């Protein structure tokens, strides 16, 4: 039963990734007519060279970021420092440690797999990824919410 639930999660994520707006697209037709603005979603790819992009800025609060393992064979772990800020959504492989304020992966994330979390509060969030083959000390980046 577990492989089926994993497949469903992957298919939902793939559909979400395919329907994501491209940075710079104009979605103003939904916001001025009383409609709901589209959710802000971004992707940070973890590659053999590091994070791409190494830093992103979301101008809308409550955005979400997909951390996609784009390496060919690295098993990565992710840690995101939320400090005292709140969080309310994360994929099942991420867990909040209330003592440190960090969300971290509880098991390695394989190639072509991902983790996702929401950022409901303004601020600067430090991201650290370990397990990238070419970066023995890990790679770091930031998510900025304005």
- Which is the CATH superfamily of the domain at 37-145? Cupredoxins -  blue copper proteins (2.60.40.420)
3-state SS, one letter per residue, for the chain: CHHHHHHHHHHHHHHHHHCCCCCCCCCHHHHCCCCCCCCCEEEEEEECCEEECCEEEECCCCEEEEEEECCCCCCEEEEEECCCCCCCCECCCEEEECCCCEEEECCCECCCCEEEEEECCCEEEEEEEECCCCCCCCEEEEEEEC
Res 135: pLDDT: 92
Least confident residue range of 5-9, 20-24, 132-136: 20-24
The 10s digit of each residue's pLDDT in 33-79 is 456 666 668 999 999 999 999 999 998 766 899 999 999 999 999 99
> Domain segments of the chain: what residues?
37-145
Q: pTM for the complete prediction?
A: 0.73
The 10s digit of each residue's pLDDT in 91-138 is 999 999 989 999 999 999 999 999 999 998 999 999 999 999 989 999
């Amino acid at each position: 039963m577990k492989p089926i639930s994993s497949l469903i999660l992957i298919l939902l994520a793939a559909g979400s990734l395919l329907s994501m707006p491209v940075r710079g697209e104009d979605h103003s037709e939904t916001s001025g007519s009383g409609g709901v603005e589209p959710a802000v979603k971004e992707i940070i790819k973890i590659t053999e060279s590091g994070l791409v992009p190494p830093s992103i800025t979301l101008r809308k609060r409550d955005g979400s970021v997909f951390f996609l393992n784009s390496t060919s064979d690295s098993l990565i772990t992710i840690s995101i420092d939320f400090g005292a800020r709140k969080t309310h959504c994360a994929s099942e492989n991420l867990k909040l440690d209330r003592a440190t304020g960090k969300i971290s992966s509880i098991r390695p994330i394989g190639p072509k797999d991902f983790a996702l979390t929401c950022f409901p509060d303004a601020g600067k969030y430090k991201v650290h990824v370990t397990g990238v083959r070419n970066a023995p000390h890990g790679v770091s980046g930031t998510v900025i919410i304005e």
